[in-house]
Structure 1
Amino acid sequence: MDVADLHCDVIYKMMEHPGLSLLNPDDRLLDVTVERLRQGGVTLQVFALFLPQALPRTPENMLRAVELYFSGVLAHPDLMPVLRSQEVDAAGKMGKIGALLSIEGVDGLQGHFWMLRLLHRMGVRLLGPTWNHANWACDGAGEPRGGGLTKAGRQLVQECERLGILIDVSHLSDNGFWDVAETANRPFFASHSNVRALRTHSRNLTDDQVRALIAVGGIIGVTFVPWFLTDPEPASIQHILRHVDHICALGGERHIAFGSDFDGAERYAQGVEHPGQYPRLTEALLKRYPENMVRGFMSGNAKRFFVKNLQN
């Protein structure tokens, strides 16, 4: 069964380990390899542009990360960039793995919208305004102040919509989420978040936020990071299913996707520690839901969202 994964941190790993890439993988360092993507049936993978904490947040380092995406990800013959709506399904039909580029944190843009426009020309189609901290655009989920979008952050949302870049709310503060909901004229999404009703964590979504995403036609990438799934750990596939169940109970069966966060965490739910193990999740879902719904969860909902909302 085809899989679409809304978030991985391969680029981050490549920046931390010079010489590492999908062309030169080391599965002791990388969760995501082309072999594992193939094993798991992944036909669409979002690659996040997230700078390691030790690096200065500069346009130069943002460009370094994009260069690694080109030289270490897209250079692999099995990968194909997805820039337009018609390319979402084209990749799989051509036997390729579609790759979408996302910004996770706009710190390095330093408020320069010319830089955003340049990155769009280089392939960025998705953008999360921040990681967990505060920056020039907004407060993140880990910022105690809990502010929303700044004036420049609202301008960022508007410029993204003009360019055709979709907004990812996964790391925003609650006020930031609602500011995006108020500012945005196009659907937005959460790439790797779970539900707060089952696991109280600032990175998870409240029921009202889930309903808001459903209302605008967005998608929610249920993530495999254990501390977003349950407390105490360890987490298992059964905990993932509980979050899927809850979103379905809120009317979100056509809005569920998965955002593993592979290569972005130290550990994952047992049974889905890398993309090659996606069939285990599929099998567990098929015991609980009809096949057509499971196909939606695994890739159909995400692909429909991108086909509808990426520009032609």
Structure 2
Amino acid sequence: MITRRSVLKSAAAATVLINTGQYQAFADSPVKYSAKTMRAVERALVIDMLGPLKINFAPEAYAGRMTDAEAEMFRTSGITAFHNSIGTGGPSAVEDTLSFIAAWQGYVGRNSHVFTLVNTAADIDRAKAERKVAVITGLQNSEHFRKKEDVKAFYQLGQRCSQLTYNAQNLLGSGSTERVDGGVTDFGVEIIQAMNEVGMLVDVSHCGDKTTLDAIEISPKPIAITHSNCRALLDHPRLKSDEAIRKLAAKGGVMGITAVRMFVRDKEPTTLEHFVDHIDHVVKLVGIEHVGIGSDADLNGYDDMPPDQLKMLRGSYKASYGFRDKIDIEGFDHPKKVFDLTEALFRRGYSEQNVLAVLGGNFRRLLGSTWL
């Protein structure tokens, strides 16, 4: 006999099957994902707060229109917004920064069927609704700010985030691989104040320890560590201390976890699970509201770069960076990596609400309160 109870029981069993079953969701990938993961990524504003659209040093890589295959790769990546950012510096910092902004605004404009530029956080929401990819313009150094008025000028050109220093000392403060860190300079204080006035996000990912702590204290608004990891799990100069993470969170800031191999673990294997360990550490230390993603790689990662470019990239950093055979981590080195991360977070017991916060909800809150 068919009863209401038996129908409900059957429906409940079917729901469990749908949520736990694995499905090959993409024709170009043999990996299977759960319906739960597919639904979460579909709902999420996924914000990669350090995700170069393309890691390629050849200028012709950004000329013209992307191929249909490239467009499809972005459309199906699950990522709503990329913080497209590089480090410029030295005597040509202003010119190089202007060239970077012009090149990428041109590329986004020529590929407006896929991308949209970000002015305010609402543009990320709009990109999600229109199934496009939002592009946040940022810089991983602030040497192009020669005077405080430059902050407003570059904001008007589209820059929405600026890292105070790269790895070395500049006029604002010290980088993470400097032997001595004197903290934020008087000029750095002026630039932080100017960034707050116009609504540009302050980033301290590559800053030294004292410079990081100074910036958090000096800025009246919350700031970001867009792409770094936890020194409590791995002793590396590019990573952040628990003290810095606590103080960042106390001011309302958010930290993006990076998937660069030597920042995740100091031995092999180095996998997606070890990446999630850093998310777990931040959550346990300061709460779910203060962690996000800053992969520090494009959709395909670093290891498939042309060999000459990869050699040049590795050679541009100090020995303290500790490069190993691979730069990418296992399981987070392909265009569908957000789906793999979502699966891993669910395996750790995160609720869907918390997964949405990590994937981008926390950074969306920070960006919404920062950008004017």
Compute the TM-score of the two structures, normalised by the length of structure 1.
0.90
- Structure whose alpha-carbon radius of gyration is higher: 2
2:357 corresponds to 1:302? no
- The CA deviation at 1:87 is 2.2
**1:99-118 equivalent positions in 2, closer than 5 A:** 99-109=135-145, 111-118=146-153
Corresponding residue pairs, total:
302
Corresponding letter in the other structure for 1:306? L
**1:1-312 equivalent positions in 2, closer than 5 A:** 1=41, 2=44, 3-10=46-53, 13-14=55-56, 16-21=57-62, 24=65, 34-51=71-88, 56-77=91-112, 78-109=114-145, 111-263=146-298, 265-266=302-303, 267-288=327-348, 289-311=350-372
More displaced 10-residue stretch of structure 1: 297-306 or 186-195: 297-306
Identify if the C-alpha distance between structure 1 residues 138 and 34 changes in structure 2 by more than 3 Å, giving closer, same or farther. Answer: farther
Corresponding letter in the other structure for 1:140? G
Identify if the C-alpha distance between structure 1 residues 226 and 74 changes in structure 2 by more than 3 Å, giving closer, same or farther. Answer: farther
CA contact (8 A) 1:40 1:275 kept: yes
Identify if the C-alpha distance between structure 1 residues 217 and 194 changes in structure 2 by more than 3 Å, giving closer, same or farther. Answer: same
Question: In 2, Cα distance between the equivalents of 1:222 and 1:9?
Answer: 15
Tell me how large the CA RMSD over aligned residues is.
2.2
Residue matched to 2:312 = none
Identify if the C-alpha distance between structure 1 residues 85 and 39 changes in structure 2 by more than 3 Å, giving closer, same or farther. Answer: closer
Question: In 1, Cα distance between the equivalents of 2:292 and 2:109?
Answer: 23
- The CA deviation at 1:74 is 4.1
CA contact (8 A) 2:168 2:176 kept: yes
CA contact (8 A) 2:164 2:173 kept: yes
Deviations 1:98-132 (A, max 9, x none): 111111112233x2334322210011111101110
CA contact (8 A) 2:108 2:116 kept: no
In structure 1, runs of 5+ residues without a counterpart are: 27-32
CA contact (8 A) 1:6 1:258 kept: yes
Deviations 1:5-41 (A, max 9, x none): 0002347x45x20210285559xxxxxx543332221
- Please state whether the residue corresponding to 1:123 is helix, strand or coil: coil
Question: In 1, Cα distance between the equivalents of 2:92 and 2:168?
Answer: 13
- The CA deviation at 1:259 is 0.4
Deviations 1:41-92 (A, max 9, x none): 11111110323x8x85331221111111111234312111111233231221
CA contact (8 A) 2:165 2:173 kept: yes
- Please state whether the residue corresponding to 2:230 is helix, strand or coil: coil
Question: In 1, Cα distance between the equivalents of 2:225 and 2:74?
Answer: 22
CA contact (8 A) 2:50 2:83 kept: yes
- Please state whether the residue corresponding to 2:49 is helix, strand or coil: strand
CA contact (8 A) 2:75 2:131 kept: no
- Please state whether the residue corresponding to 2:92 is helix, strand or coil: coil
Question: In 1, Cα distance between the equivalents of 2:265 and 2:66?
Answer: 31
- The CA deviation at 1:170 is 0.5
- Between Structure 1 and Structure 2, the one with more helix by share is 2
Question: In 2, Cα distance between the equivalents of 1:34 and 1:217?
Answer: 35
Corresponding letter in the other structure for 1:198? L
Question: In 1, Cα distance between the equivalents of 2:230 and 2:173?
Answer: 22
Question: In 2, Cα distance between the equivalents of 1:186 and 1:34?
Answer: 36
Question: In 1, Cα distance between the equivalents of 2:71 and 2:204?
Answer: 28
Corresponding letter in the other structure for 2:136? L
CA contact (8 A) 2:245 2:286 kept: no
Question: In 2, Cα distance between the equivalents of 1:231 and 1:131?
Answer: 22
CA contact (8 A) 2:108 2:117 kept: no
Question: In 2, Cα distance between the equivalents of 1:167 and 1:22?
Answer: 30
Question: In 2, Cα distance between the equivalents of 1:177 and 1:75?
Answer: 38
Corresponding letter in the other structure for 2:119? L
